[in-house]
Amino acid sequence: MRLFIALSLFSLSFVCVLVTPAMADGPLPSKGMGSGDWNGKRTRAEELGITFGWMQDVTAQQNVRGGISKGGAANTRITVQANYQFEPLTPLKGSEIQVSAAWNIGGNVNNNVGALLSSTGIYRETAIRLFNLYWGQSLADEQVHFKIGRIQMCNEYAYTELYLSGAISNGYYCNPGGFYLNQPVYAQGVFPIATWGARIKVAPKKQDFEFWLGVYNGSESENLDAASAHGVNFKMNLRESTFVQGSFWYKLNQDPEDEGLPGNYRITGFYDSGSFTRFDNGQTQRRNPGWSLVVDQMLFRERSGPSDQGLFAMANFVHHPKTVISLAPYWASAGLYYKGAIPHRDADMVSFAFYYASLSADTPLDYEFQFRIYYTFQLTRWLIFSPHVHYFKKPGGGQVPSALVFGAFLRMNL
């Protein structure tokens, strides 16, 4: 069975290289959406300020060794989204409303692996959920932008879009995995879950830096992730938990005219006023602060001039000083990824990465380590396919044997 899965993934990858075309020059109708322009209806809607889309993600994974048990699971997520820009029809320049919903179906291979962080980033209990629902506003010639409403925290502080890893592992999903282990609010702000909040971004023109500040409802009493809630439990309890997060983001050589290699450097501080259960005596303790550093730097460019093809490195570190209430006080991950490694497949990407979660000394757990390899085929502008391999050492902090997972991920933008 293991050999069959490995050969199947290898064969499919080989077919993708030889048969599918490289990413074509020029966008498909309606900005590259797979379903096209709908006989001009999408273009007409955009003239009225309305844009919409449908994205479907599919993951199939198999644990072939170790963990809790051998076995696999498949899951899919369908997301629909609509955005309305007020400006074409009203004098409200820079105003927008966005609403989205998602339908999750299927199982989770982590039931076989037993890791603290799953090797799939799209699994949620089967249900239809309301997702984002917010009002956004740009000011000062788009140098200031804020949004308020039901906000997905994941995208607010994510890696650069080029690092296309989010849907493949919770260890690298939008933010460093240490956030999800230590801050319950992140479980309520990760695709397709959103929480009440407000965020402001200040990005001065002709400058290489940005400031971000967000305040969010961290109350777990909403239980937004529950299938029965469907994302429409609109309760908010800031007294129970208020989560504050601020970031300074330095963007190196981001202008197309810059000759140097681009990079992104972000330092973030966060604070949760909520209650946490102590590992030593089971009592509750309030307030959990922390900080993180995220780096994404191009190391080599294939050719001179504007190009995103080449070798990149990423690394991040997360620290929560209160070890008695933080499951992973120290978190680190790093990796290399190369865009355009195969000739004539300029949009494809290959990646190698690991994470290491040092677990609290106040628990009987040790650490969790994951190493993963994946290759993303950009089959068209609206379709990607990614076979991948994940190796877990001491999943669950050493409670089960090391595990090896093979899988594949498919994303369609329609």
The candidate with the shortest Cα–Cα distance to 96, out of 87, 104, 109, is: 87
Q: Give residue-wise pLDDT tens across range 384-403.
A: 899 999 999 999 999 899 99
Q: Give residue-wise pLDDT tens across range 10-61.
A: 444 444 444 444 443 332 335 567 777 788 888 888 888 888 888 899 999 9
Q: Give residue-wise pLDDT tens across range 148-163.
A: 998 887 766 555 444 4
Q: What's the pLDDT score for residue 308?
A: 81
Q: Give residue-wise pLDDT tens across range 325-359.
A: 999 999 999 999 898 888 888 888 899 999 999 99
CATH code matching the domain that covers 2-413, chosen among 3.50.50.60, 2.40.160.180, 3.40.1400.10, 2.60.40.10:
2.40.160.180
Q: What's the pLDDT score for residue 121?
A: 77
Q: Give residue-wise pLDDT tens across range 63-116.
A: 999 999 999 999 999 999 899 988 877 778 889 999 999 999 999 999 999 999
Asked whether residue 239 carries a pLDDT value surpassing 80, the answer given is: yes
Q: Which residues are CB-contacts of 284 (< 8 A; sequence separation ≥ 6)?
A: 275, 276, 277, 278
Tell me the average pLDDT across 204-215. 91
The CA distance from 200 to 207, in Å, is 17
Q: What's the pLDDT score for residue 173?
A: 63
Model pTM score = 0.86
Q: What's the pLDDT score for residue 211?
A: 94
